[in-house]
């Protein structure tokens, strides 16, 4: 249940960043140095929604009490790849 709640929280943050332009929620960027603030918010917000979707799916799998735990390795790898994508891709907006 905690994983599902975390996924919903991440989704809310992603939606705020992408659709409301809440770039102040993006950590590690000096917003005065960003050349395309709207592009950055779209990029980071969408990727946050991807992470949220994966987290919600994992929460649903946990709730179903699936026997194997291999899905956690897949989830971790996917989230790490998305984070790397955000780090590298966000540089285009500086």
pLDDT in tens, 68-86: 889 999 999 999 999 999 9
Cβ partners under 8 Å of residue 33, min gap 6? 94
pTM for the predicted model, two decimal places: 0.85
pLDDT, position 9: 96
pLDDT, position 94: 75
Res. 26: pLDDT tops 90: no
The pLDDT tens digits of the residues spanning 46-55 come to 999 999 999 9
Query: For the chain, what is the total number of helices (H) and then of strands (E)?
Result: 3, 0
Token pair 């989704």 is at which residue? 11
pLDDT, position 6: 95
């Amino acid at each position: 249940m905690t994983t599902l709640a975390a996924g919903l929280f991440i989704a809310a943050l992603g939606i705020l960043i992408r659709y409301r332009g809440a770039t102040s929620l993006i950590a590690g960027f000096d917003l005065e140095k960003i050349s395309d603030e709207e592009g950055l918010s779209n990029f980071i917000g969408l990727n946050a929604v991807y992470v949220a979707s994966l987290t919600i799916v994992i929460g649903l799998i946990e709730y179903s009490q699936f026997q194997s735990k291999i899905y956690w390795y897949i989830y971790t790898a996917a989230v790490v790849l998305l984070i790397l994508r955000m780090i590298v891709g966000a540089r285009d907006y500086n």
